[in-house]
Structure 1
Amino acid sequence: MLAISLAIIIGIALPIETAVNSRLQGVLKSPYFASLVSFLMGTILLTCMLLFTGHSFLIAGNFFSNHPWWIWLGGVLGVIYLTGNILLFPKLGGIQTVLMPMVGEIFAGLVIDDLALFGSGHHALTWLRALGTLLMIIGIVFAVVLPERARKATFQGAAEADARRREPTRWLWQLLGILFGTFAACQTAINGHLGQLLKSPIQGAYVSFIVGTVLLLVVVLWQNHSLRLPAGALAREPWWIWFGGFIGALFVLGNVYLVPIIGTGLTVVIVLLGQIVGGLLVDQFGLLGAKRSPIVPLKVIGLIVMMFGVTLIKIF
C-alpha cells in the first residue's frame, strides 16, 4: 500500500513540474534550454542526496563491463521523450499529445512486465490485466480527451483541428507519439534495474540525470551556441520557476525505487493515474499561473474508470 501511495504522489507531482517548466520555457525562449536547467537542478538535488546519505559518486570500472550497455540509456530516453512531446504538440494538438504517449506507455509497461524485459520481474499479461489496461485507456479518454474536445469546440478550434486532420503525415506523428510513450516506459524499467544493480535508487536516478544533462547541454550549445540567460530573467520572475527539476528528480527517484517492488507495468499505470489527478488539480485551482479549467463530471467519471483499471492490473 505504501508503494501504491508513493506512485500516486509522484504522479500528482508531475503536472506541477510541467507547469513550472512551461513558465521557465517562456522566460528562456527555448524548450531545450528550459529542459537543460530542469535536468541540471535535478542533478544538483540528487548530488546533495548522495552526499547526505554517504553514497559514492563513482562507479567501479568492472561495473561497465559486467552489465549490458542499455542500462545507461535511461537518461537518453528521458530526453527523447521530453523533446518528442515538444515536437508533437504543433502537429497533433494538445489532446493527442497527451493521449498517444500515454497509450504507448501503458501498453509498453505491461509488455515489459510480461516478457521480463530490462531486468524487470515477470508479471504475466492475463486477460484481466488486459481489461484493466482497456479501462485505463477509456478513463483517460473521459478524463482528458472528451472534456478538452468540449472546451475547444469553437470555430477557431474546429478550424485548427481540421487543418491538422488534413496533414498527410498526421498518422506518422501519431505513431511517433505512441513510440515516445514506449520510450518513457522503457526509461522507467531501465532506471529501476540500474538502481537495483547499483544497490541505490538515488545513485540510479543520479546517473540517469547526469546522462540527460550532458545530452541536453550538447543540444543547447549546438542550437543556441550560448548558455546566456535573457536579460532580467533572474530579477523579474518568481524564484520557483528554477526548481521544477527538483520535482523531476524526485519523480525519477520514485520510479527507480518502485519498479523492483511492484513492476514496470503497475508503476506506469498508477503514476499515470496520479498524473491525471495532479493535472486536474492544477487546472481546477489554476496553480503556478496555469489557466483555470474547472473539474467537470466527465473528468470524475474518467478517474473512477481508471481506478477500476488500476485495481484489475494490481490484483491480477
Structure 2
Amino acid sequence: MPQSSSPIGVFDSGVGGLSVLRMLLAAMPNERFVYLADSANAPYGERGDAFVAARTHAITQYLREKHDIKALVVACNTATAAAIHEVRSSHPDLPLVGLEPAIKPALAATKTGHVGVIGTRGTLSSAKFGKLMASLADQAHFVVQPCDGLAHAVERSVTLPPTTASNAVNCTETGALCERYVHAMGPFGTAAGQMDTLVLGCTHYIFVEHELRALVGPDVRFIETGEPVARQTRRLLEAAGLLRQTQQDGGGEPQAPTDAAPPVQLLTTGPVSMLEAAAQRWLQLPARCCSTVSVP
C-alpha cells in the first residue's frame, strides 16, 4: 500500500503537463514525483475518446504497479474529459485530480463579460466540456477556438531557441499557429465587446505564453490550471494522511528527503531527447532524471 513517502504520479500525452508538475513542485517541494509523458501517442487532443481512455487506464495501472504512487494527477484536459470518471470508478482508493478548462475562474476575472477559450479539439468537443459550458452559457459571452496542431507544435519546439517577448510572433510554427487561431477569435482587449480573459485549455499552451501575449496585448488575463490543481492535490493528500512530513519535531525548516529514491523521475514512451530538452528548458532538471519506458 502507498505510504506518505510514496511518489505522486503525474501524466500527460506529452511534455505539456510539465507546466502542472512545475506548480506541484512549487506547492509541495518535499514530495517525490513520477511524471510520465505518453509522447509515442501524442497529442491526445487529436485522438478518439476510446483510444485516450484506454491509454489513461493503462498508464494509471502502470504507475500504480511499477511506482506505487499515492495519488495521480491527470495533467491533460483531453484525458480528463475522456476518462476521469472511469478511472475514479476503477481506482476508488486512489486520490485523483484531473484538469478541465478554467471557465469558472475566467468568469470571476472578466470585466467585459467576453471570454476566449483555446484548447484541443478533443477537449472542446467533449461531452464533459459541453456540459460545463451549457451550465455557464448565460453568464458571459464565450468564444471557443480549437487549436489543431498547436500542442504538437509545442512538443516539437522544445529543441528550438527559447521564445522571448522580442521574437514572440515570427516565422516559427508555434507563432504562426497562435496567430492564426487568435485572429480567428475576434478582438481582445479591455473595451466593451472585447475579450479581456483567455482560458488556456491545454497544459501545453502556457509554454507559448510569449506568442499569445504579443497577439492579445498586455491587458488580457490568461487563466490556466496548474496552480489550483497543485492546491487541490495537496488538500487531498492532507485529507488522506499521505502528505509527506519532513519538518523536525517541534517545528523548524523542512528537511530534504533522505531516502535513495530521486525526488523527480521523468518517463516517456517516446524519444527521451525531447523530454530531456523540455525538462532542462522548463524545469531546470538534468537529463539524468529522464528515461524511456514502455506502457502497452
Q: Give yes or no for TM over 0.5.
A: no
Bigger fraction of residues in helix: 1
Bigger fraction of residues in strand: 2
Bigger relative CO (Cα 8 Å, ≥ 6 apart): 1
Q: Give the TM-score taking structure 2 as reference length.
A: 0.30
